[in-house]
Structure 1
């Protein structure tokens, strides 16, 4: 899709309640607002992790854009993909323990999807930033120690790579380094430029 001409007063909105995405957006030095999207995040029958992440990212952007049609809205979603099975946010210690036990010694693909929507201009763009994460063969004691220290219960896959969670890993493979944290900034900048926003 060709770039859309910029509108001088068009606001930028991050359609997410994630504090991690808010912190990442702050790196770009652009003024933006945060609006919570009202979207059911339950997977559909047979939906792959990548398709789920893409659908939810677009749904979040569209939901906020309907309330703010003049704004450029960013939606994003991340689903951990273990052998084709989606892993969401654990929510508590027991589920996080089970997730990390299932991932130890495996390569998990974190499917981080992005959507940028502006209803007034008609712009709608999407992208996907898969990140391959190789987990070490963790012991039960290592998993318990990590979870007690960091408590990453609001993170898909139960590990924060930007924190102590990096110690659980053997490798990270990605062409968009912030994708694993929740928002692929290289792709975000690209789509924002296409939507008509000047990004330094």
Structure 2
């Protein structure tokens, strides 16, 4: 497969996430991956939707300097429980605490998505919400899950594309791919608006 789109532009995913790469591959378009070196620090008082929209755009802009004609995809995600942003746990103890807190409750995931057309400087940005309703979880269930999947680098302490699905009562949202980190329904619309036909 050629590394460029039919019109000669390159499509670049500004992320090294294997989950986002796998999702983007579903669209069947040629693309390359470029790590973004954007600062991902949260600004004082910044809410979840503003944060993910800003970081998705910042990631795309950071990668844009490498190719003046590319279409660049930036994405960022955060989880919210009780109006508080919860991040990646980083270790077993924090993952246990996150899942105990989420037990029987709803966590909202916000995924920011940006498609930057570097040549025209047109920038499309959306934020896609997705609700995860957790079933009541016992300490044994949480321990068994974490020992098997070790999702310590995942916001919310689970992998919905894996065994994490067993933690849920139900999922609520328009685009299930947004929960994994790249809202493909919105991305398809953005690409078409930028002149890239997916189908």
Same fold (TM over 0.5): yes
Q: Answer whether contact 1:15 1:75 (CA < 8 A) is retained.
A: yes
Map of 2:85 onto structure 1: 86
Where in structure 1 are there 5+ consecutive unaligned residues?
1-5
SS in 2 for 1:116: strand
Q: Distance in 1 between matches of 2:82 and 2:72?
A: 32
- Could you list the per-position Cα deviations for residues 166-199 of structure 1 after superposition, in whole angstroms to 9, with x for gaps in the alignment? 1111110011121111111000111111112121
The ranges of structure 1 where at least 4 consecutive aligned residues each deviate by more than 3 angstroms after the TM superposition are: none
- State whether structure 2 residue 140 is matched by structure 1 residue 141: yes
Q: Answer whether contact 1:65 1:73 (CA < 8 A) is retained.
A: yes
- State whether structure 2 residue 19 is matched by structure 1 residue 20: yes
Map of 1:74 onto structure 2: 73
Q: Summarize the alignment of residues 17-166 of structure 1 with structure 2, pairs less than 5 Å apart.
A: 17-166=16-165
SS in 2 for 1:178: helix
Q: Which has the higher contact order (CA 8 A, sep 6+)?
A: 1
Q: Answer whether contact 1:11 1:70 (CA < 8 A) is retained.
A: yes
- Could you list the per-position Cα deviations for residues 31-64 of structure 1 after superposition, in whole angstroms to 9, with x for gaps in the alignment? 1000000112121111111111111111101111
Map of 1:3 onto structure 2: none
What's the CA shift for 1:7? 7.7
SS in 1 for 2:65: helix
SS in 2 for 1:67: coil
Q: Answer whether contact 1:131 1:180 (CA < 8 A) is retained.
A: yes
Where in structure 2 are there 5+ consecutive unaligned residues?
none
Q: Distance in 2 between matches of 1:104 and 1:51?
A: 27
